[in-house]
Amino acid sequence: MASSPKIIVVVGATGNQGSSVARTFLSLPDWHVRAVTRKPSSEKANGLKALGAELIQADLADISSLLRAFENAHAIFLNTDFWETYSCVGSNSGLSPVARSRAAYEKEVFYGKNAAIAAASIPTLDRLVYSSLGSIKEASGGKYHRSFHPESKAAIVKYIETEEPELAKKMSLVIPAGYCTNPLFRPTRDLASGQYVMVTAQAPGCRMPILNPTTSMGPFIRALVEDEEPGTKLLAYDPDSFLPFEDIVQKWTEVTGNEVSIVRMDTETMHTQLHLPWELLDGLDFVNEYGYEHVIRSQGIIEPHQLKNPPKTKSYKGWLEEKYLEGGLV
């Protein structure tokens, strides 16, 4: 008699990362996907339902709803969203930029703790995979402290490790690379000259890992759940996509045929002239000074090629080619 499929609960199943995880596990016969969403009637949720997912309404603010969602789960994929709160607070709220960041930090940590409390009570649970980021404040000895979105995720991990030690034994971390859709990776066209320009604070040779979360996150989570031991920390990026900034620009040129001028601007100027918040810019300065390589070495993080069965995902250039054919690059 065939055994029942194992249950994976995907929190935030209609988001960029969660939808990829849900779709990947829906293709695996040994897994049943329980897609957690606040809006089970949404078009994205119904798309997952049509593929065979079980939809369940739950909210990270409500532990009782999470307990129902997590019941009998063997694996949980958890992603908490700093930027939703940050955007909802909005620049017109009257709050200072730091207060906006602090509000988003506190809500994300609250949500993450709720999820941890609920997950810790599930006796069937074998694996929790949390989509996290390392603390750049801690890694820089307090030098870079104005970016809260890495800190909230790091605080959630620390909470699990200290307050839910049995859950921590079942936890693995995925650290997503920069999204391929990140505006910082995309040139803009100067209307006066018609030329393409990429304004950046990245130092020459500074390497950035890139990920397409909507297609690649799922295969990486499958590897962490099925192949790797708990405690694994993975920097998830696509093949041939850990690139110096100059190569990012060059690949855009190769695909579109348009030359791009790189304009380097320090973060202070980007803050004062382009009005970009330190919530974004502090991370750029951190990467310039320390590099992703420092984070990998200092925090025991592995890279995709070190997985037992590295997934075959599309490179950044492959994504560019696909978007160009769709008319979405220029």
3-state secondary structure string, the chain? Answer: CCCCCEEEEEECCCCHHHHHHHHHHHCCCCEEEEEEECCCCCHHHHHHHHCCCEEEECCCCCHHHHHHHHCCCCEEEECCCHHHHHHHHCCCCCCCHHHHHHHHHHHHHHHHHHHHHHHHCCCCCCEEEEECCCCHHHHCCCCCCCCCHHHHHHHHHHHHHHHCHHHHCCEEEEEECEECCCHHHCCEECCCCCCEEEEECCCCCCEEEEECHHHHHHHHHHHHHHCCCCCCEEEECCCCCEEEHHHHHHHHHHHHCCCEEEEECCHHHHHHHCCCCHHHHHHHHHHHHHHHHHHHHHCCCECHHHCCCCCCCCCHHHHHHHHHHCCCCC
> What is the number of domains present in the chain?
1
Strand-strand pairing, 127-131 and 75-78: parallel
In this structure, of 28-42, 79-93, 96-110, 285-299, the range with the lowest mean pLDDT score is 79-93
Distance CA 182, CA 320 (A): 12
Helix axes 245-256, 316-325, angle to 10 degrees: 30
pLDDT at 2: 60
Among 74, 43, 41, smallest CA distance to 57 is for 41
Q: Does some domain include residue 114?
A: yes
With a cut of 80, say whether residue 296 has pLDDT above it: yes
Q: Does some domain include residue 188?
A: no
- Do 89 and 279 touch, CB atoms closer than 8 A? no
Q: Does some domain include residue 269?
A: no
Distance CA 82, CA 107 (A): 8
Q: Does some domain include residue 215?
A: yes
Distance CA 161, CA 155 (A): 10
- The CB density around residue 138, as the number of other CB atoms within 10 Å, is 16
Average pLDDT over residues 149-163: 98
Distance CA 7, CA 97 (A): 41
pLDDT at 3: 79
Share of the chain above pLDDT 90, in %: 89
Cα 315 to Cα 93, 114, 237, 307, distances in angstroms: 40, 36, 9, 17
Burial of 323 (0-12, 13-18, 19+ CB in 10 A): middle
Q: Does some domain include residue 234?
A: yes
Average pLDDT, the chain: 95
Domain that holds residue 68: 6-179+210-239+290-314
Q: Does some domain include residue 277?
A: no
Among 205, 211, 206, 202, smallest CA distance to 181 is for 211
> How do residues 66-104 score in pLDDT, each as one tens digit?
999 999 999 999 999 999 989 887 766 778 889 999 999
Q: Does some domain include residue 251?
A: no
Average pLDDT over residues 96-113: 96
Average pLDDT over residues 313-330: 93
Average pLDDT over residues 11-33: 98
Q: What is the CATH number of the domain that holds 161?
A: 3.40.50.720
pLDDT at 293: 85
Angle ∠(209,154,207) on CA atoms, nearest 5: 15
Identify the residue whose tokens are 């995709």: 304
- 267 φψ region: left (φ > 0), alpha (ψ -120 to 50), beta (else): alpha
Work out the pLDDT band at 116, boundaries 50, 70, 90.
very high
Work out the pLDDT band at 237, boundaries 50, 70, 90.
very high
> How do residues 176-229 score in pLDDT, each as one tens digit?
999 999 998 999 998 888 899 999 999 999 999 999 999 999 999 999 999 999
pLDDT at 91: 64
pLDDT at 270: 96
pLDDT at 92: 67
pLDDT at 95: 86
Q: Does some domain include residue 29?
A: yes
